[in-house]
Amino acid sequence: FTSIDVATLKLGHIQFDSNGKPVRIEKMRVKTRVLSAWRLFESTSRVLAAYIKKYDIKGDDSLIFLDREGRPVVREILNHEGKPSHKYDGVGRAFSRMKLSNGLTFRHLRKTTVTMMSRNTEGKYPLLEQGFLSHRPSRISLVHYINVDPSFMDTHLLLVEQQLELESIVSKILQNIAQSKLSIINHHS
């Protein structure tokens, strides 16, 4: 996801299992207009479930992330004439602050995941990478082959999650959600 994909995420894009746990996001990527489905990392699922519960988000059309005033976290700012003057990107700002402490940008997080998937498969499945990134097929002959078996992608995403050791940061994030200290999201109340 890029910031605009995060900002436009709605409850209806999230698929839940029979226990009400978020397991997958199915959404058209804004930049490429490619409909894709991504299995959530277990750590992401736990955090997202806690967040949805905390802010009592209901209704398929409800945006998941809003700023403190209830506005989308990525939006056009209008000038005094009512014309767009610039874009406010709360997601990008949050990642920029995070980047200062560990050097990882939002864009690099996507690239890191794809690089790890490629290494894990020894580069034998380029369509896996293209499917994860939700890129349009590079050749017309690939149009009907770009749909990667979801279980194959799921397996490789689980492996990447283990390699990134994301579970190590979940308790801190869950604690922040419980204490309502998230910087760009405090809404739906």
The pLDDT score that the predictor gives to residue 176 is 83
Average pLDDT over every residue of 85-97: 82
| Residues 32, 135 contacting (CB under 8 angstroms) | yes
Tell me the pLDDT tens digit for each residue of 128-149: 676 677 766 666 655 555 556 6
Stretch 79-107: mean pLDDT: 76
User: Quick one: residue 20, left, alpha or beta (phi over 0 = left, psi -120 to 50 = alpha)?
Assistant: left
Q: Which amino acid is at 138?
A: S
- The pLDDT score that the predictor gives to residue 164 is 78
Which range among 3-12, 43-52, 79-88, 172-181 shows the weakest confidence by mean pLDDT? 172-181
Write out the H or E segment, with its range, that includes residue 65. Answer: none
Q: What is the pLDDT of residues 17-72, one digit of tens each?
A: 999 999 999 999 888 888 888 889 888 999 999 999 998 999 999 999 998 888 89
CA angle 133, 47, 33 (to 5 degrees): 25
DSSP string across 110-135: HHHHHHHHHHHTTT--HHHHHHHHTP
Residue among 135, 9, 24 nearest 63 (CA): 9
Assess whether pLDDT exceeds 50 at residue 157: yes
Per-residue pLDDT for 115 more than 90?
no
